[in-house]
């Protein structure tokens, strides 16, 4: 054996869901970058930067993060592609459009039995869970939460355009692929293990 030999690396491994969602984003005109200095953000030039694996929580996934950001884009409007962070003030006060985004995310995920799998991992999980706990319909106001009339109206409007270009076909195909991968993986998830369970089991 030649001690100076270095094995050439021709191929790299990529998580299947990451592959699906990065390519789906690309088909919508969004390039995915990784940046350890932030959680998620767009630059208004077609780049969506996500935190690196070592900076994210155990239940974060590139797939869920891309899906959530695309839902933001749908809700905020096609023209916000050219605005940093889809027109959200990152350090500003709460923007009620966040809740419309979560409603769209939930509706689209639920169509493929992926609501649990694609649940948000930020503080807005409280609203996501409240929708389920209250048992309200996708376009019913959630009692006790602000701006719900506006949230519901925008969610209805956004769902109608979610099937349009540039989102519709790529988004639907990515959700179908996710459901298919999950169906293949789920039987292999151990039923008992120390610590938190696996998202694949949801």
**pLDDT tier, 126 (very low <50, low <70, confident <90, very high otherwise):** very high
For the segment 145-184, what is each residue's pLDDT rounded down to a tens digit?
999 999 999 999 999 999 999 999 999 999 999 999 999 9
* pLDDT mean over 13-33: 97
Helix locations, the chain, DSSP H: 16-27, 62-76, 97-110, 125-134, 148-161, 168-185
Q: Tell whether the model's pLDDT for residue 196 goes beyond 70.
A: no
**Average pLDDT of the chain to the nearest whole number:** 94
Which run of H or of E encompasses 66? helix 62-76
What backbone torsions phi and psi does residue 49 show, to the nearest 5 degrees? -100, 135
Q: Tell whether the model's pLDDT for residue 130 goes beyond 70.
A: yes
pTM: 0.94
Q: Report the distance separating Cα 41 and Cα 47, nearest Å.
A: 8
Domain ranges of the chain: 16-183
């Amino acid at each position: 054996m030649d001690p100076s030999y270095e094995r050439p690396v021709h191929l790299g491994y990529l998580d299947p869901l990451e592959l699906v969602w990065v390519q789906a984003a690309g088909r919508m005109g969004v390039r995915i970058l990784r940046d350890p200095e932030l959680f998620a953000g767009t630059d208004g030039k077609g780049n969506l930067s996500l935190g690196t694996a070592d900076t994210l929580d155990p239940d974060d996934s590139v797939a869920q993060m891309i899906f959530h950001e695309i839902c933001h884009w749908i809700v905020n409007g096609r023209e916000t592609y050219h605005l940093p962070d889809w027109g959200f003030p990152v350090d500003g006060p709460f923007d009620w459009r966040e809740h419309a985004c979560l409603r769209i995310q939930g509706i689209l995920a639920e169509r493929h039995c992926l609501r649990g799998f694609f649940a948000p991992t930020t503080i807005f999980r409280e609203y996501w869970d409240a929708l389920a706990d209250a048992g309200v319909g996708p376009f019913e106001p959630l009692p006790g939460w602000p701006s719900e009339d506006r949230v519901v109206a925008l969610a209805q409007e956004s769902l109608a355009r979610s099937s349009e270009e540039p989102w519709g076909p790529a988004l639907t195909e990515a959700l179908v692929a996710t459901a298919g991968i999950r169906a293949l993986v789920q039987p292999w998830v151990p039923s008992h293990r120390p610590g938190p369970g696996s998202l694949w089991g949801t």
